[in-house]
Structure 1
Amino acid sequence: MSFVEVGPDEPIEKALKRFKKECQKAGILAETRRREFFEKPCICKRRKIEASRRKARRRQMKVQQKLERY
């Protein structure tokens, strides 16, 4: 859980903005969206495999672009 201490003369809007930023960094909102509904293990595994494929494809494209520069 993210905590933000509010100063005595600090506007609440500024503190709220810092709190939202902390929550974003911690990934709290993304985690709650992911856990909102039950996901079968096979679907979870499939999602992870697809994510790793996308990551590998992106990595390969970056390497390819670096090689084209030379």
Structure 2
Amino acid sequence: MQVLVRDNNVEQALRVLKKKMQREGIFREMKARRSYEKPSERRNREEAEAVRRARKAARKQAVRDGLIAAPKKKPLVDRRAPRPAPQAAAQNKSDQGL
């Protein structure tokens, strides 16, 4: 896996590397390899994962077919938008006599 560092911006390169590793499933595999997993536990885990995948696929197909309603989407929050200072909110409450 390779990540380019542009303009000596190591922090950004680390973010990109972590995102790539997350996408590849490396963190999950590292966690799984910390301790020994018995073959029976492995079979049970893999079977449960397969059931979860099948349910998810069936749910998505049902949404596409119109059999169930699609889950409500969360409203987008603009993180760059300025927020009012906490002191200003406290000041407004004291002005109202609360």
In the alignment, structure 1 residue 19 sits paired with structure 2 residue 10: no
Name the larger-Rg structure.
Answer: 2
Count of matched residue positions in the alignment of Structure 1 and Structure 2:
67
The 1:15/1:58 distance shift into structure 2, 3 A limit, reads: closer
Could you list the structure 1 runs, at least 4 aligned residues long, displaced by more than 6 angstroms after superposition: none
- Percent identity (aligned): 31
What is the TM-score normalised by the length of structure 2? 0.55
What is the TM-score normalised by the length of structure 1? 0.70
Q: Return 27-36 or 58-67, whichever deviates more.
A: 58-67
Question: Over aligned residue pairs, what C-alpha RMSD do you find?
Answer: 2.1
2-structure distance, mates of 1:13, 1:33: 24
Q: Point out where structure 2 has 5 or more consecutive residues left out of the alignment.
A: 69-98
The 1:60/1:24 distance shift into structure 2, 3 A limit, reads: closer
Q: Point out where structure 1 has 5 or more consecutive residues left out of the alignment.
A: none
The 1:18/1:67 distance shift into structure 2, 3 A limit, reads: closer
Paired amino acid for 1:3? Q
3-state SS in 2 of match to 1:5: coil
- Greater relative contact order (CA < 8 Å, ≥ 6 in sequence): 1
CA distances 1:4-54 after superposition (whole Å, capped 9, x unpaired): 2324x3322122222222222222211101111110001100111111122
